[in-house]
Chains A and B, each alone.
Chain A
Amino acid sequence: MIKRQKALLAAVSKGAVDMLPLSLAVLPWGILFGSLAIQRGLSGFEAQLFSALVFGGAVQIVTVELMAENASLVTILFSALIISSRHFLYGLTLREKLRVQPLSWRMSIGFLLTDELFSLSGHPRAYQNKFRLYYALGAGGSFYFAWNTWTAVGIVAGSWLPDLTKLGLDFAIAATFIALVVPEIKHLSTLVCVVVSAFFALVFSLFDVAFGLVAAAILGMLAGFFVQKLRSK
């Protein structure tokens, strides 16, 4: 029994260690959110609650900007839905692995299912046994802790930091995602998928298409899928 607990604890810490580079890389983004929220008139408590409950960087930052512009609630919720809609794809991708797990596990993993946790979920046996569930809990939980810590730093520093939105902190996000995508390109199908997704992401973004991100991703996925089908014939 003790041995088993030790093994589960080891799984949790392995998850946290594997997540560590991503937890550190989100530091500028977390500080940006915390300070922005204070500068746009939220209280420290409200700002922290955003990170604790909403737990989505882009949604939080866009919402704070919209609230400062006095946007309507409908506008705020709809933009949150647009930004979050990519998670439907993640949920679908992990569905066959997670739908058989107990409710408490599905709820916890669901709550923690960020881009970062999803990118650590690629193993064929991910979520298939207790150890791998605890691994995901360690990875997702430590990322949650990091996001909330960086937010708190931003809140405390917020009143004497300059407006960080113009400083290019979004480059940290780009670099992180490059680190997650490029090593995954091992087959022609993935390369085609990425190129097609990139192309349409640019087009849709330039023409301000709603749900453009998800649409671009789905077109990329279809392209990769067809290349794989053609080559396996």
Chain B
Amino acid sequence: MTYITLLLLASITFTTRYLFLEGKLPIRLGPNIRCLLSFSGPAVLTAIFIPILFIHQQQLDISMSNAYLWGGLAASIAAYKTSSVYWTIALGTGLFLLTGMFF
């Protein structure tokens, strides 16, 4: 059972990644669609990380005691100032852990 589930899951993740790389699909992308798609990276990643920061136990958590927000703020400033993944994660996680201990 586990193995069937595994194989089906693997085919789902692979299909979602591969499908549109297939040249035989009869899809042509015009310049407007291509311009639209150029925003896909930041749009998708933002839609993933914002709920991690703001939503806990299915509720919006905007309070001083939300360590995720402090960590996210530090990470954003670090990313803006340094553009370095290392610094962003180090400073973000640092403040996240620190505020998590305080509150």
Contacts and interface: CB of A to CB of B under 8 A. Distances in A.
Interface of A: 21-22, 25, 42, 46, 49-50, 53-56, 59, 63, 67, 73, 76-77, 80-81, 84-96, 98-100, 106-107, 109-111, 113, 115, 118-119, 122, 168, 170-185, 189-190, 193-194, 197-198, 200-202, 205-206, 208, 213-214, 216-218, 220-222, 224-225, 228-229
Contact of A21 (B22, B44, B86): B86
A189 B36 CA distance: 11
Interface of A is mostly: helix
A106 B20 CA distance: 10
Contacts of A25: 85, 89
13 contacts: A21-B89, A54-B9, A55-B13, A77-B9, A92-B29, A93-B37, A110-B21, A118-B41, A172-B89, A175-B89, A175-B93, A184-B42, A185-B42
B5 A85 contact: no
Interface in B12-48: 12-14, 16-23, 27, 29, 32, 34-48
Contacts, number: 259
A83 to B, nearest CB: 9
B79 A182 contact: yes
B48 A111 contact: no
A81 B35 contact: no
Contacts of B76: 178, 182
B52 to A, nearest CB: 4
A9 B59 CA distance: 49
Interface in B41-71: 41-55, 58-60, 67-68, 71
A81 B16 contact: yes
Nearest to B87: A179
Nearest to A73: B5
B45 A80 contact: no
B5 A63 contact: yes
B96 to A, nearest CB: 5
Contacts of B92: 171, 174-175, 178
A221 B43 contact: yes
Given A174-B72, A178-B49, A201-B46, 13 more contacts: A63-B9, A76-B9, A80-B12, A99-B23, A111-B18, A168-B96, A171-B67, A175-B89, A177-B45, A177-B49, A194-B46, A202-B51, A221-B43
A198 B83 contact: no
Contact of B35 (A217, A220, A225): A225
A228 B12 CA distance: 34
